[in-house]
Chain A
Amino acid sequence: GENVEQHPSTLSVQEGDSAVIKCTYSDSASNYFPWYKQELGKGPQLIIDIRSNVGEKKDQRIAVTLNKTAKHFSLHITETQPEDSAVYFCAASRSGTASKLTFGTGTRLQVTL
């Protein structure tokens, strides 16, 4: 089955700096890669996703890049703000299999003032 590794497990940045979280996956048939943000006391919420026919996707301060050859994808957050502090999860799946996602182990991001 699929295996997703995520690094780092914790990340501390100053407000205004950029943050990068990286994931690798093992199943070359995976073609859907979402990122979820989990704030304290809440369930994870989708913030951005990318499919294997696209190399990069951007939504305001958030971007995701995908390297299919190397089987890794990354989340980039620019101009970080205190409200970006949360736990971030990457995931991978074969689209069409009822979204059976395999999640990474999570990254706790802390944005300090």
Chain B
Amino acid sequence: DVKVTQSSRYLVKRTGEKVFLECVQDMDHENMFWYRQDPGLGLRLIYFSYDVKMKEKGDIPEGYSVSREKKERFSLILESASTNQTSMYLCASSPPATDTQYFGPGTRLTVL
């Protein structure tokens, strides 16, 4: 069964803190994605990765960076968290040559 896990369901951080959100998939998928979900805005792509050590910017990369050192793990990094980064963060993965994305349960991040 497909499994995408995210390190935390809820996270509270202070403005200016460095924040790491971790995502792990156990399906040997090449492609991994980070989205943020906000009411009335749907899901917006932050970054994605086709392979280990490879990354590409999505539609809203400002204020974020990513790391993919191993195939199964894709990390989202907020170098200096700000209140406008309070949101639900969703990770997804997909195998090569297919379009279906499998999502994790999400991390609700609050930046105070």
Contacts and interface: CB of A to CB of B under 8 A. Distances in A.
Interface of A: 1, 4, 6, 9, 32, 34, 36, 41-46, 49, 89, 93, 95-96, 98-106
Interface stretch (B14-22, B35-43, B64-72, B76-84): B35-43
Of the four ranges (under 10, 10 to 19, 20 to 34, 35 or more), the interface on chain B belongs to: 20 to 34
A101 B35 CA distance: 10
B94 interface: yes
A69 to B, nearest CB: 22
Interface of A is mostly: loop
Interface in B8-66: 31, 35, 40-45, 48, 50, 58-59
B76 to A, nearest CB: 15
Contacts of A99: 31, 94, 98-101
Contacts of A34: 99-100
9 contacts: A4-B42, A41-B105, A43-B105, A98-B94, A101-B45, A101-B101, A103-B44, A105-B42, A106-B42
A43 B105 CA distance: 4
Nearest to A6: B42
Nearest to A97: B99
